[in-house]
Amino acid sequence: MNPKTHFRLLVLHVVVVTMLLVLVGRLWNLQVVNGDHYRQVAAQNRIRDIVVPAVRGLILDSSGRPLVRNRTALVVSVDRTVLSRQDDRGRAVLTRLAATLGTSRADLEKRIRLCSPTVKRPCWPGSPYQPIPVDDRVDPKRALLIMERAEDYPGVIAQVQAVRDYPRPEGATAAQALGYLQPITQEELDKRRGLRVTGYSGVDLIGRDGVEATYDADLRGEPGVRQVLVDSQGRVTGTAREQAPVPGSSLVTSLDARVQGAAEQAIKKAIDSARHSGAAADAAAAVVMDVRTGRVVALASYPSYDPSIWIGGISQAEYDALLGKSKGQPLISRATQGQFAPGSTFKISSVAAAVADGYDLHGTYPCPGSYNVGNRAFRNFEGQGHGDMNLHRALVVSCDTIFYKFAYEEWLRAGGTRPVKKPKDPMVDMARKFGFGSPTGIDLPSEAGGRIPDRRWKREYWNATKSDNCKAAKTGYPELARTNPSRAAYLKAVAAENCAEGFVWRAGDAANFSVGQGDVLVTPLQLARAYAALANGGRLVVPRVGLAVIRPDGTPVREIASPPAQRLPVDDKVLAYMRKALAEVPTQGTAAGAFSGFDFKKVQVAGKTGTAEVYGKEDTSWFAAFAPADKPRFAVVAMISQAGTGASYAAPAVREILEAMYGLGGKPAALKDGKLPDKLPKLRADGTVGAGAAP
């Protein structure tokens, strides 16, 4: 044999033997070393997981009336992933589906495109890897056609799902307090990797606002899993395992549907009345709170909206209407997020501050029509003087000049425009202790904190606006000068002053602060909390909407407790003095006209009007009250923006709410014996309300 041939055969044998050894080693690795792993993978190739959605829990009022419930609906969804694998990217399937649903392919393509800052609605804000609902009100015959001819609709799913329903018991919507649901986003899925998704169900929708967001984990429940066996063609051949879903728990709120409905109706009526009189009246809010516990009985905001607008997707026009200023931005809760100057309702804080600073609670003080603060005259409402009076009378008739005097004298003692080291600002300090200037801690998202201006805030604001003021000081306001030269000249002078020394805390700032004007901003909820503290003897309670979480059968899971209340640093005698004074406001004071004919024999009311001036706008109307005045149980606050005086619009709204609560003026009582339920509602298996269960 040729030596060369022999060598080649030897090399070939070595190569073959080596390859056999590698193959044997690989087989050993697959079958022995990693055999268990690959046997499991092979089994999984024959098993498919189907997520079974859990029914989302109800949201109930304190008596068990459903504020949010579920209804069943036939939902058609489209899986973008399946469509993307088709040769025509799913165009033919969408065309057939559009004809079946009675719409156009273009409309379906809009609904399944992904949302982004440049994409207008309708679009899909959720994960691109889950089925996207395109119709949640499908005719059963059309849905059956899709299910029976699945081969013609690859990537299309038709199934019965539970969707949110809003029954509006007693006319109550409470849209901003309840919140809404939106599809879970991919970012949220990445953060919550254990979360299963099914398409259009309560598993994939999460709360975006209100109690739907705060108590989402309680409401959503636990989805079930059905593991089915499939063949090589993907056909189901049997069920391997099934785990039933766990329905979400229901949330009992402290809201009372009757009081909520009355509050919404009252502020809507006030808005209509103000507009009929020629006022702009663009927004309103009302808050009813249990002064002892902080439980929120009603939380109304105007303008409002129908929360069912979110179900099944929302159009760009509808979305713009919720956020657009032309429609009043109804998505914003004026009760918790709206910030307004409080006017004279703020005086309860100023009285407490003045007494703490050394002014005699029982002293007598002059109430002239105007009072000079530096070289500027600050006037009472309509310049009316009332002569000498005590602080009791000052609250009843709402004398401003007494408070201007207190604030100006305190400002002078602090050093004026050249303040002493660590100057005392008693009214600023007391306002913060009343809870103004910071969120109340209510169990709702995105609560506003209001604003309590002080020396530090003014310097920070000056730093932020200095360049604009200095520019306006040089250029003036040429466009305004063409139509209103005197106004333009005034604004130019103000800009020049602010450019030079806008950081200075002036006497006028202190005077305006004392009567809730100037740069002071509060929310209606903050004001209700402050009046609740005045009414309950000095406990600054933390508001709560959630009352308890209960299982679908009504058995309690847990009671939602409020954090401990802080104590106001105000003497009990001062609080009692103010309560007694405010009890005369509806009978002899600024709200006497609004409460004319009110049945005070059944329910005594204490309160304070507020008329806050707003630059460039009409006055904000306020009335803050608590009742019964002798044994306070509820604080009630109403605010009507750009309406007029507090006595003209907000006070009548509060009167209507109180009459509805206590059954006065021929109205049925919303609250039995003027009290809230002391037991939790118990749900039957069919979702109806049964006997109460003790909390």
**Single-letter code of the amino acid located at 653:** A
Least confident of 22-26, 72-76, 182-186, 444-448: 182-186
Mean of the pLDDT values across residues 619-629? 98
pLDDT at residue 45, rounded to an integer: 53
What six digits make up the tokens of 386?
């009332």
Indicate whether 694 pLDDT > 50.
no
| More confident of the two residues 442 and 247 | 442
Mean of the pLDDT values across residues 313-324? 74
The whole-angstrom separation of Cα 116 and Cα 493 is 45
pLDDT at residue 20, rounded to an integer: 82
Indicate whether 314 pLDDT > 90.
no
Element holding 377 (H helix, E strand): strand 376-379
Mean of the pLDDT values across residues 590-619? 96
Least confident of 11-25, 213-227, 466-480, 505-519: 11-25
Least confident of 68-82, 315-329, 446-460: 315-329
CA angle 212, 215, 219 (to 5 degrees): 80
Beta bridge partners of 250: 550
Indicate whether 505 pLDDT > 60.
yes
**Bridge pairing between strands 224-230 and 236-243:** antiparallel
| More confident of the two residues 307 and 608 | 608
Least confident of 466-475, 518-527, 591-600: 466-475
Element holding 350 (H helix, E strand): helix 347-356
Indicate whether 508 pLDDT > 90.
yes
Indicate whether 43 pLDDT > 60.
no
**Bridge pairing between strands 387-390 and 370-373:** unpaired
| More confident of the two residues 50 and 497 | 497
C-alpha dihedral sign at 182, 188, 194, 198? positive
If pLDDT is split at 50, 70 and 90, which confidence band does 238 have? low
Q: Read off φ and ψ for residue 229, nearest 5 degrees.
A: -90, 135
CATH code reported for the domain at 48-253: 3.90.1310.10
| More confident of the two residues 162 and 618 | 618
pLDDT at residue 111, rounded to an integer: 86
Least confident of 389-393, 517-521, 550-554, 566-570: 550-554
pLDDT at residue 401, rounded to an integer: 97
The string of pLDDT tens digits covering residues 127-156 is 676 678 888 778 888 888 888 888 889 988
pLDDT at residue 695, rounded to an integer: 37
Indicate whether 61 pLDDT > 50.
yes
Which pTM value belongs to this model? 0.84
| More confident of the two residues 44 and 5 | 5
| pLDDT, mean over the chain | 88
CATH code reported for the domain at 254-305+332-447+511-677: 3.40.710.10
pLDDT at residue 692, rounded to an integer: 41
Give, in order, the Cα–Cα distances in Å from 404 to each of 98, 220, 411. Answer: 70, 54, 10
CB atoms within 10 A of CB 14: 10
Mean of the pLDDT values across residues 466-471? 94
If pLDDT is split at 50, 70 and 90, which confidence band does 360 have? very high
If pLDDT is split at 50, 70 and 90, which confidence band does 449 have? very high
What six digits make up the tokens of 110?
């809009």
pLDDT at residue 68, rounded to an integer: 95
Indicate whether 491 pLDDT > 80.
yes
The whole-angstrom separation of Cα 510 and Cα 597 is 39
pLDDT at residue 58, rounded to an integer: 94
pLDDT at residue 640, rounded to an integer: 98
Contact 589, 397 (CB under 8 A): yes
Element holding 100 (H helix, E strand): helix 91-101
Q: Which class for 510: exposed (0-12), middle (13-18), buried (19 or more C-beta within 10 A)?
A: buried
Spell out the domain ranges in the chain.
Answer: 48-253, 254-305+332-447+511-677, 455-504
Mean of the pLDDT values across residues 397-405? 97
**Single-letter code of the amino acid located at 337:** Q
Mean of the pLDDT values across residues 552-576? 93
Among left, alpha and beta (phi > 0; psi -120 to 50; other), residue 70 is beta
Indicate whether 83 pLDDT > 80.
yes
